[in-house]
Amino acid sequence: MGNDDARVVEGAIPGDMAGERLDRAAILVLPDTGLRGRRRLIEAGRLLVDGRARPAAYRVRAGEKLAARIAARPEGEFRASDIPILFADAAYAAVAKPAGLHSAAIACGGGQSLEDLLPELFPGRAAGLLSRLDRLTSGIVPLAFDAASGERYRRLENAGQVAKTYLAVVHGGIPSPFVVDFRLDMADRAKTRVLRTADSDPLRQTRVSPRAAKGGLTLVACRIAKGARHQIRAHLAASGHPLVGDPVYGRGEGARLYLHCARLESPVLTVTNQPPWSLAEAARTVESDALEKNAEQDTNGVG
């Protein structure tokens, strides 16, 4: 696959994925990469099946090994100047993380992170993350400048005095607000499993309110308290409303996950940040993806 500075991610096709197109099955080794991104890797010869290049439409077989060669660390992809500081005082701060950037530093060349950029954002101050966003999610990340402030924030969070509101674009119509209280099993680090039993802890629930609708999509506000990994993405998908652009729980349309942490409210800081996308943009993404799929089906049906 070449000798550039990259790492290889591998995985074997399970039985229930046999017969899938390669560009769809590649989510096995590229869970945070959208459909178009996976296709680009295939076209560039950076995603192999049992050591051989295959087209995106190739139907995978159980037991075949996928190997994707991806950048080990995209140095310089983000600069400190790309991270707006939304709030800062003696104890706390909040910044706006762009999509595509990890929140926390990952060992062994896991990729660039917001945490890596904090010393440049706040010179001479020891800023620490108070919460994290998925790499594909944009929006508010709160910080503390000392251990005591961090502990205070976490006490407030555990007491239900911190509220986070995310804006998301989901599939389907949502006529009225609802609450998702399914329990979440996070034992698998790649994908959170939704259990069909209720969790009475309000810190783990997702409150969903519709804001606007267009072309079979709905812009929703999702309010959570403490939250859990992939909570909103998993809860919405389990409720029949996967997020547009979600490569793990949805259809992976386009190059963006339409999920943004837009507001954080607490006794120690309150911050608002608007998303870098719109409902209309999401609708265009879905329409373009549908046209592309129809063209593929027409091509596959020829002959």
Q: What residue spans define the domains of the chain? A: 6-71, 80-286
Q: Using an 8 Å Cβ cutoff, are 38 and 47 in contact?
A: yes
d(CA 3, CA 62): 29
Q: Which fold has domain 6-71?
A: 3.10.290
Q: Which residue has the tokens 């904090």?
A: 118
pLDDT of residue 35: 78
Please determine whether the domains at 6-71 and 80-286 fall in the same fold group of CATH: no
Tokens linked to 200:
């009475």
CATH code that applies to domain 80-286: 3.30.2350.10
What stretches of the chain adopt beta strand conformation (E)?
A: 6-12, 47-49, 52-53, 65-71, 85-88, 92-97, 128-129, 138-144, 163-171, 178-180, 182-185, 193-198, 206-214, 217-224, 259-265, 270-272
d(CA 160, CA 251): 33
In this prediction, residue 299 carries a pLDDT of 58
pTM (2 d.p.): 0.76
CA angle 106, 273, 229 (to 5 degrees): 40
- Please name which of 287, 267, 298 lies closest in space to residue 91, comparing C-alpha atoms: 267
Cα separation of 53 and 10, whole Å?
14
pLDDT of residue 295: 66
How many helices (H) does the chain have, and how many strands (E)? 6, 16
* Beta pairing, strands 178-180 & 128-129: unpaired
The pLDDT tens digits along the chain (303 residues) read 444 446 788 999 999 899 999 999 999 998 877 777 788 789 888 899 999 999 999 999 999 999 998 765 444 478 999 999 999 999 999 999 999 898 988 644 557 899 999 999 999 999 999 999 998 999 999 999 999 999 999 999 999 999 999 999 999 999 999 999 999 998 766 788 999 899 999 999 999 999 999 999 999 999 999 888 899 999 999 999 999 999 899 988 888 899 999 999 999 999 999 999 999 999 998 888 777 777 666 555 654
Instruction: Take residue 175 and report the two structure tokens written for it.
Output: 């006529």
Six-digit token pair at 25? 């099955």
